[in-house]
Amino acid sequence: MFTTVLAQRNKTQPGELPLDLFAAIESLKKELNAVILAHYYQEPDIQDIADFIGDSLQLAKAAEKTNADVIVFAGVHFMAETAKILNPDKLVLLPDLDAGCSLADSCPAEAFAAFKAAHPNHLVVSYINCSADIKAMSDIICTSSNAVKIVQQIPKEQPIIFAPDRNLGRYVMEQTGRDLVLWQGSCIVHETFSEKKIVQLKIAYPEAEAIAHPECESSVLRHASFIGSTAALLKYCQQSNAKEFIVATEPGIIHQMQKLAPDKHFIPAPPVNNCNCNECPFMRLNTLEKLYWAMKNRNPEITMSENIRLAALRPIQKMLEMSV
């Protein structure tokens, strides 16, 4: 009943890659009348070839406005799915269909339907990091940049379920003073940051400001002088007088931070273990090569049933109306 994503699996890629991938992608862009939308967590080469780079809200708005025939989404599945929900007649390509999201996966549709049924009369506000099936069961979608603003617009007496991220939910509760019923989902990347190592970095770099994404745990957020979405973090470090920043979010964003504030120093917040687990393993599945093959083969494509698309469209439109 809830399985609606009928996207085709990646085809194997026979054939030679062109020597100049950037030029080949630019030429495919013209041939297909395509636009490349990329999230800040993508690898630098993808960010550099994208027509538009943004956070989840900016990308949803860009997808809503585009006149292109083809949207190449360099991000994760729920982001490309949102673009498809807004553009049923366009071809939406995702370079690697396995680019999912641990947060979206932490909220399976059937379990969420039961949770919703156990809380009658609650309005459902869902973070955009969820599947189309969850969106279809929601009243309003939000992103990390507008969650507080959206909850503040809901009448105080209205009880609310907030899904799927418990950390963002807790942050929204603190900022709004509202009591939300939280789904207990989380992001494996934002829960990996080590409070102890962040404190050690603050001692080693006493002039540095710590900045964090609201998907981080409260033990990390309490050391941050600014908390915001990826776009808000980028804007903050350009405007702040500080010259050094400890960045508690996926380090892909540091590519843009360095480009837009070249005289400043950005230190990625370290994970608990000695691993690269502060890099999103889903976002990083996309590569320039896969992006080229996706455009060349017009595949893998995002598709879904029309009834789920229409049900998921309603709360997304509500969000767009509430965040102008």
- CA-to-CA distance for 296 and 290, rounded, in angstroms? 10
- For residue 63, report the phi and psi dihedrals to the nearest 5 degrees: -65, -35
Q: Is 144 in the site for ligand SF4 (CB under 6 A)?
A: no
CB nearer ligand 13P, residue 56 or residue 87: 56
Q: Say whether 283 sits in a helix, a strand or coil.
A: helix
> What is the token pair recorded at 152?
């503040």
Q: Residue from 191, 209, 215, 217 that binds ligand 13P (CB under 6 A)?
A: 215
Residue (81 or 215) nearer to ligand SF4, CB: 215
Give dist(CA 168, CA 182) in Å, integer: 10
**Sole window of 142-150, 193-201, 297-305, 308-316 interacting with ligand 13P (rule: CB under 6 A):** 142-150
Strand arrangement of the beta sheet that strand 209-212 belongs to:
226-227, 209-212, 244-248, 265-268
Instruction: Choose which of 50, 59, 63, 76 interacts with ligand SF4 (CB under 6 A).
Output: 76
The site partner of 322 among ligand 13P, ligand SF4, none (C-beta below 5 to 8 Å per kind) is none
Whether the link from the prior residue into 270 is cis, omega within 30° of 0, is: no
User: 250 with 278: CB under 8 angstroms?
Assistant: yes
Contact between 55 and ligand 13P by CB under 6 A: the answer reads: yes
Closest to ligand SF4 by CB, 94 vs 101, is 101
In this chain, which of 4, 42, 66, 129 binds ligand 13P, going by CB under 6 A? Answer: 129
Among 49, 93, 101, 147, binds ligand SF4 (CB under 6 A): 101
By CB under 6 A, the residues from 269 to 308 that bind ligand 13P are none
Q: Which of ligand 13P, ligand SF4, none lies near 102, with the C-beta cut-off 5 to 8 A by kind?
A: ligand SF4
Residues whose CB is less than 8 angstroms from the CB of residue 307 and which lie 6 or more positions away in sequence, other chains included: none
| Binding segment toward ligand 13P, per CB under 6 A, in 7-15, 60-68, 140-148, 314-322 | 140-148
What x-and-dash track marks residues 174-213 binding ligand 13P by CB under 6 A?
Answer: -------------x-------------------------x
As given in the structure block, the two tokens for residue 231 are 């776009």
Tokens of 130: 């969820």
- Shortest distance, position 74 Cβ to ligand SF4, whole Å: 12
Task: Tell me the CB-side half-sphere exposure of residue 42, using CA atoms within 13 A.
Answer: 31
Binding pattern for the stretch 210-249 against ligand SF4, x by CB under 6 A and - elsewhere: -----x----------------------------------
Work out which of 4, 10, 47, 102 binds ligand SF4, going by CB under 6 A.
Answer: 102
In the chain the first and final C-alpha atoms are separated, in Å, by: 34
CA-nearest of 116, 262, 117, 251 to 126 is: 116
Structure tokens at 21: 């991938």
- Measured CA to CA, the distance from residue 316 to residue 140 in angstroms comes to 7
Pairing of strands 226-227, 180-182: unpaired
Catalog residues that contact ligand SF4 under the rule CB under 6 A.
Answer: 76, 101-103, 129, 187-190, 215, 250, 280, 282-283
